[in-house]
Amino acid sequence: MIGYESPVRQDILTKLGFNGKITVGAVCVYPSRVKDAVAALKGSGIPVASVATGFPSGQIPLELRLAEIKQAVADGAREIDIVINRHYALTGQWKLLYDEVKQMRAACGEAHLKTILATGELATLTNIRKASLVCMMAGADFIKTSTGKERVNAVIPVGITMARAIRDYYMRTGYKVGFKPAGGIRTAKEATNWLAMMKEELGDEWLNNQLFRFGASSLVTDLERQLWHNATGEYAADHYMPLG
Amino acid sequence: MSGSATATPSAAKPATDINEIFAKMSYGPAPESQAAVNKWLQDHGRKFGLFIGNQWVHPEGRSYMKSVAPATLEVLAETMQATREDVDVTVVAARTAFNTWSTTPGSTRARILYSIARHLQKHFKLLSVLEALDNGKPFVESMNADVKLLVRHFYYYAGWAQLCETEMAEYAPLGVIAQVIPWNFPLMMLAWKIAPALAMGNTVILKPASATRLSALLFAEIVAEAGVPPGVINILTGPGSIGGYLCAHPDVDKVAFTGSTEIGQGLRKSISGSGKKISLELGGKSPVLVFDSADLDAAVEGVIQAIFFNQGQVCCAGSRLLVQESVYTKFIEMLKFRLGKHRVTVSLDKCTDMGAIVDAEQLRTVQSYIDIAREEGCTVWQPEIVVPTSGYFLPPTIITNVQPVSRCVQEEIFGPVLCCMSFRVPSEAYALANNTKFGLASSVWSENINLALEAAHAIKSGVVWVNSHNIFDAAAGFGGYGESGFGREGGKEGLFEYVRPSWQKRPRPDISKIRDVREWSAATPALPPAPTSSPIASTSTSPASDHVDRTWKIHIGGKQRRSDSNHYYTVKTPKGAILGQVPDCNRKDIRDAVEAANLAQNSWANSAPFLKSQIMYYIAENMQCRREEFASRLSTMTGVSMEEALHEVDLSIDRMFYWASYTDKNGGIVQETPWKGFTIQVNEPVGTIGIVCPNNNPLLSFISLIAPAIARGNTIIVVPSSQFPLCALDMYQIFDTSDLPPGVINIVTGVADHLAKVLVDHQNLRAVWYFGSAEGSYHVEYLAASNMKRTWVSYGQVRDWSDRHQGSGHEFLHHACEVKNIWLPVGETAF
């Protein structure tokens, strides 16, 4: 199963003198592929995550959304990425949103709950902050910016708003909630900005895959290119790096 | 003190092993290269002369001073100490250049300023690295603030050079400008001074601060490369005494200074009465108001920007934190948490929050303030962070448990030291904010726009930032109230510091025979006229037997009052006939008048412009009803013909109408800064103004001076012509019948210079306009330096009040207004 354990070329890691272990935080799939993914990752220790609740729009009845979560969990997903009800957020019906996410939380059982705010559709930083707090109060283990399908995905001002909501929630309750920016992060440089943002706003405790994840499938190629550059002083080409 | 920053080099040493880096997730060094700067310094043999007439000049026998990098104590170069002889030579070069530069078309000057901006951009990195090295500030800041604004200023003022013939048609350049700048933003201050001066057609001699000379010298070379004619920009390095000599040089026409209030006051005194213009950007103790409705996380970052930007060595640093009591404890905790992550590094490390203090002396000064705070029982806190041991470093410092009387609250520290206080209600916050001799800047933090704007209105400072701090741009004026100085830099308002009305020649008053101030302002109480004097001349046609004696009074707080002195002096016709007896007022009358004017100030300033205009039109209307009577009085009093007198009355009525029109037409503009939001320039009233009127055209000059002042919301104490006071006193009946609120105009008669001194000395008066002798102008400017009130004096020049430009030009508006720039950000939509 080489490749699941290390998404980075081993020769680059060797050149850098790195002797630790690097894996992805999780492999995220649609609900219908959870069984296949679980089978494929068997023994790797890498969790399977599943999007659910009518991803990406969430526009299906609540019963079906809850059923979808239960099915994915039953199929072996250890993490569930739900999308919040944007209608409730945009009309200020925060209590209804809270109740809905709470039911989703219950449907997850032991699985981790990541709530996708779809920040690109929430329009204002105030809405983003309120949605972040409502989701955390309803039991989210992670809050996540985007489905990757919105017109605007993860951007730093949104990230700061969400990180500060996490900090505020932690200060008040003692619960550490994770953060996942998703969509649009394609370069090592951008990833570094996000890391620095997390370090400054939340601290080193948040700089690991238990509390911080990138949802960015194409990022790994550029990370490898930059690691190559660091190891050799030469600029690297995409096609020398295995597809992520 | 819960902890102190200790320098532990081992902890500061960055991880080099990748596994360690991965485990620790700590920042590594991110150094900027010094190579280009080293090459430039080497090319000059690390030794610099003076830049005069676009050439490096190395006169023999001069001494040199070392330029040291405060972050590493590396000696960068040696620079020359100019002598008086060098100043004399430079002034001649600048004067010669002025003769052609001032007559160069604006469009040509615009292209040269544009060329400067272009060439500065080409050397952006070099300038940024040199500035950071020489000053100790972080390279990230020199690049993103100092040099960016340097370039921006030259672009912006290139535009004003292009437009000056139309937009500044009423004005002409001054001549040779002496500019003395501080060490905290060497290039930015240079740009603020040079760009507007050149745009308006002046030539300049700039003296950089001794601690930071190098970037100005690099700038000089770039200027020559950009094609600026020789002598237009000259850079002289030298000790402070040479700055003083330069400013006092008789062939210098204006002094522009940024620095400490103490030195600014000294300069003001040293050139008093000389006819030179002066602009001063001085100290501050700017408040940061954090309300419970603020986005507290954002406000914490705002406070960091307010007080730790440039190591707090910023004249508008937000050094007084005022937090609403309901969130005070939480906010201070948040601030301390944030400061625990503060990074203090050498200038060229790009991963930093703060660099080095400029030199050992400044470091000692700041440390001594911290010591004083401890001695005074305040609580000093510094985070436990690593601070470099290589140079002049200080950790960020916050002081709590302070009192309004604590020295750290009262005095400008000019370092990374923040004093924290709390308040309960907005009015208390405004009172604390305004409880200062300064008035440079402030910031207001609240998501409640009504509250934020109310605060922006209530705080008396030249700049108010809403939900932001330390934002600057060439298009917005910067400068303060009170002891923060006078004049504005930036924006169109910044141009007026570098021009004079076209009709006016540079005043060169003879001040060789100035009497002692006590002699100048002396007054013996007036006595009754001797018995042999002429009978009382009446302007009325009634027979002498029917004549009822008229007792002329003064006008204070809307009341016609007798003078506190109970002395009267006699007003006579030019032929010696007695016209009447008017109060010979004393200092107590001025005291009462200032009190009345201050009492009326707030409500008059805030009354609707429409109401002000209605009152002023009504005054004009009532003057019209008594047109002949006014003319008759003028004619009898001054000896002019009835025809001439009628003309003066008509002009006076017209002038009242003219300024009434301006009550609602000079509120301000939206400045076009490159900022996401609105920068609003508001023309506020100066406040209370003392006005000493001249003797010529006693009615017209009186109206010409009081009308623009009250039109723009000022309340005034006016001393009419001592020789011809009666028309002004006739006016109080008109004021009383024209619905003018009590205290807006207060009239005090007597010996003008005697009263002028009381006015200038009065601390609770914002400005004095003095239209009198050259000697009086000298004393007014000199005395005003002590309390830093704005002055406008005539230097003994007589102006033609009937002339539209001389009697009602734009300069009247300029003197009647205090410019405030309010920065309002926008930003709610996430993208």
pLDDT of chain A, 244 residues: tens digit per residue: 444 567 888 999 999 999 988 888 999 999 999 999 999 999 989 999 999 999 999 999 999 999 999 999 999 999 999 999 999 999 999 999 999 999 999 999 999 999 999 999 999 999 999 999 999 999 999 999 999 888 888 999 999 999 999 999 999 999 999 999 998 899 999 999 999 999 999 999 999 999 999 987 789 899 999 999 999 999 998 888 887 6
Question: Would you say A45 and A82 are in contact if contact means Cβ atoms under 8 Å apart?
Answer: no
pLDDT value at position B829? 85
B25 contact residues in A (CB cutoff 8 A): 195, 199, 204, 207
Which helix (H) or strand (E) segment holds residue B717: the answer is strand B715-719
Give dist(CA B320, CA B469) in Å, integer. 13
Of B315, B419, B420, B693, catalytic: B315
Our CA-based measurement puts residue A147 at a distance from the nearest CA of chain B, in whole angstroms, of 16
Q: How do strand B463-466 and strand B441-445 relate by DSSP bridges?
A: parallel
Cα-atom radius of gyration of chain A, to the nearest Å? 18
Amino acid at the residue B190? L
Our CA-based measurement puts residue A25 at a distance from the nearest CA of chain B, in whole angstroms, of 16
Residue B142 is given by DSSP the state I
* Mean per-residue pLDDT, B503-522: 94
Nearest to B830 among A16, A18, A158 (CB): A158
Angle between helices B106-122 and B124-135 (to 10 degrees): 70
Q: Which residues contact B643 (CB under 8 A, 6 or more apart)?
A: none
Of A114, A130, A141, A180, catalytic: A180
Give the tens place of pLDDT for each residue, B736-767.
999 999 999 999 999 999 999 999 999 999 99
Map tokens 């059982």 to a residue.
A109
Q: Which residues contact A108 (CB under 8 A, 6 or more apart)?
A: A69, A73, A80
Nearest to A155 among B17, B24, B831 (CB): B831
Range from A18-27, B178-187, B803-812 carrying the lowest mean pLDDT? A18-27
Our CA-based measurement puts residue B6 at a distance from the nearest CA of chain A, in whole angstroms, of 21
Contact A152 B828 (CB under 8 A): no
Contact A155 B830 (CB under 8 A): yes
Q: Does B1 touch chain A (CB under 8 A)?
A: no
B341 contact residues in A (CB cutoff 8 A): 200
pLDDT value at position B9? 37
Give dist(CA B167, CA B231) in Å, integer. 26
Q: Does B16 touch chain A (CB under 8 A)?
A: no
Give dist(CA B189, CA B68) in Å, integer. 20
pLDDT value at position A103? 98
A155 contact residues in B (CB cutoff 8 A): 830-831
Residue of A nearest to B341 (CA): A200
Contact A119 B830 (CB under 8 A): yes
Give the tens place of pLDDT for each residue, B545-559.
566 788 899 999 999
Residue of B nearest to A230 (CA): B18
Peptide bond preceding A181 in cis form (omega within 30 of 0): no
Our CA-based measurement puts residue A71 at a distance from the nearest CA of chain B, in whole angstroms, of 35
Using a CB cutoff of 8 Å and minimum separation of 24, what contacts does B800-807 make? Answer: B801/B651, B801/B696, B801/B697, B801/B700, B801/B701, B801/B704, B802/B647, B802/B648, B802/B651, B802/B697, B802/B700, B803/B503, B805/B170, B805/B501, B805/B502, B805/B503, B806/B501, B806/B503, B806/B504, B807/B651, B807/B655, B807/B700, B807/B701, B807/B704
Question: Quick one: pLDDT band at residue B537, thresholds 50, 70, 90?
Answer: low
Give dist(CA B510, CA B525) in Å, integer. 29
Q: How many CB atoms lie within 10 A of CB B522?
A: 13
Whose CA is closest to B394, among B345, B352, B332? B345
* Mean per-residue pLDDT, B255-281: 95
- Which pair of tokens denotes residue B486? 């006078």
Instruction: Say if residue B541's pLDDT is above 50.
Output: no
Nearest to A123 among B19, B25, B829 (CB): B829
B828 contact residues in A (CB cutoff 8 A): 124-126
Angle, CA of A87, A89 and A92, to the nearest 5°:
105
Map tokens 């890498």 to a residue.
A46
Range from B83-97, B235-249, B319-333, B524-538 carrying the lowest mean pLDDT? B524-538
Interface test with B, best of A6, A14, A122, A161 (most B CBs within 10 A): A161
End-to-end CA distance of chain A: 14
Listed by number, the residues of chain B in 286-315 with a beta carbon closer than 8 Å to a beta carbon of chain A are 297
Whose CA is closest to B597, among B663, B662, B691, B666? B691
Q: Does B828 touch chain A (CB under 8 A)?
A: yes
Chain mean position to CA B230: 30
pLDDT value at position B545? 55
* Mean per-residue pLDDT, B325-349: 97
Contact A126 B828 (CB under 8 A): yes
Contact B25 A199 (CB under 8 A): yes
Give dist(CA B518, CA B562) in Å, integer. 26
DSSP states along B734-751 = HHHHTTPPTTSEEE--S-
Give dist(CA B131, CA B76) in Å, integer. 12
Instruction: Say if residue B308's pLDDT is above 80.
Output: yes
B297 contact residues in A (CB cutoff 8 A): 164, 167-168
Give dist(CA A36, CA A90) in Å, integer. 36
Chain mean position to CA B671: 19
Contact B830 A128 (CB under 8 A): yes
Contact A17 B22 (CB under 8 A): no
Map tokens 């209530």 to a residue.
B458
Amino acid at the residue A84? I
Nearest to B828 among A18, A125, A200 (CB): A125
Contact A164 B18 (CB under 8 A): no
Give dist(CA B76, CA B46) in Å, integer. 7
Amino acid at the residue A4? Y
Question: Would you say B13 and B28 are in contact if contact means Cβ atoms under 8 Å apart?
Answer: no
B831 contact residues in A (CB cutoff 8 A): 120, 152, 155
pLDDT value at position B460? 96
Give dist(CA B486, CA B137) in Å, integer. 27
Give dist(CA B494, CA B19) in Å, integer. 56
Contact A200 B341 (CB under 8 A): yes
Contact B829 A124 (CB under 8 A): yes
Contact B19 A19 (CB under 8 A): yes
- The answer to whether residue A141 is catalytic is no
C-alpha torsion angle, residues A160, A161, A162, A165 (rounded to 10): 120
Give dist(CA B168, CA B110) in Å, integer. 14
Q: How do strand B790-793 and strand B767-770 relate by DSSP bridges?
A: parallel
Give dist(CA B712, CA B606) in Å, integer. 10
The three-class DSSP label of residue B468 is: coil
Of A42, A144, A176, A238, catalytic: A144
Residue of A nearest to B24 (CA): A204
Instruction: Say if residue B529's pLDDT is above 90.
Output: no
Q: Which residues contact B554 (CB under 8 A, 6 or more apart)?
A: B560, B561, B562, B563, B583, B585, B589, B593, B729, B746, B747, B748, B749
- Report chain A residues touching chain B, CB-CB < 8 A: 16-20, 119-120, 122-126, 128, 152, 155, 157-158, 161, 164, 167-168, 195, 199-200, 204, 207
- The answer to whether residue A114 is catalytic is no
Residue B77 is given by DSSP the state E
Instruction: Say if residue B486's pLDDT is above 90.
Output: no
A204 contact residues in B (CB cutoff 8 A): 24-25
A125 contact residues in B (CB cutoff 8 A): 827-830
Map tokens 């400005």 to a residue.
B767
Instruction: Say if residue B1's pLDDT is above 80.
Output: no
Whose CA is closest to B829, among A181, A130, A121? A121
Give dist(CA B95, CA B654) in Å, integer. 41
Q: How many CB atoms lie within 10 A of CB B56?
A: 15
The three-class DSSP label of residue B336 is: helix
Give the tens place of pLDDT for each residue, B572-618.
999 888 999 999 999 999 999 999 999 999 999 999 999 999 999 99
Whole-number percent of chain B with pLDDT over 70: 96
- The answer to whether residue A42 is catalytic is no
Of A81, A130, A141, A222, catalytic: A81
Give dist(CA B174, CA B495) in Å, integer. 11
Here the ipTM equals 0.93
Question: Quick one: pLDDT band at residue B531, thresholds 50, 70, 90?
Answer: low
Question: Would you say B255 and B70 are in contact if contact means Cβ atoms under 8 Å apart?
Answer: no
pTM of the prediction? 0.94
Whose CA is closest to B205, among B230, B183, B177? B177
Question: Would you say B319 and B398 are in contact if contact means Cβ atoms under 8 Å apart?
Answer: no
Whose CA is closest to B471, among B432, B511, B442, B494? B442
A195 contact residues in B (CB cutoff 8 A): 25
Q: Which residues contact B53 (CB under 8 A, 6 or more apart)?
A: B93, B97, B230, B231, B234
Which helix (H) or strand (E) segment holds residue B757: the answer is helix B752-761
Our CA-based measurement puts residue B4 at a distance from the nearest CA of chain A, in whole angstroms, of 21
Question: Would you say A122 and A128 are in contact if contact means Cβ atoms under 8 Å apart?
Answer: yes
H, E, C per residue of chain A: CCCCCCCCCHHHHHHHCCCCCCCCCCEEECHHHHHHHHHHCCCCCCCEEEECCCCCCCCCCHHHHHHHHHHHHHCCCCEEEEECCHHHHHCCCHHHHHHHHHHHHHHHCCCEEEEECCHHHCCEHHHHHHHHHHHHHCCCCEEECCCCCCCCCCCHHHHHHHHHHHHHHHHHHCCCCEEECECCCCCHHHHHHHHHHHHHHCCHHHCCCCCECCECCCHHHHHHHHHHHHHHCCCCCHHHCCCC
Q: Does B17 touch chain A (CB under 8 A)?
A: yes
φ, ψ at B419 (rounded to 5°) = -100, 135
Whose CA is closest to B160, among B490, B480, B504? B490
Instruction: Say if residue B827's pLDDT is above 60.
Output: yes
The three-class DSSP label of residue B78 is: strand
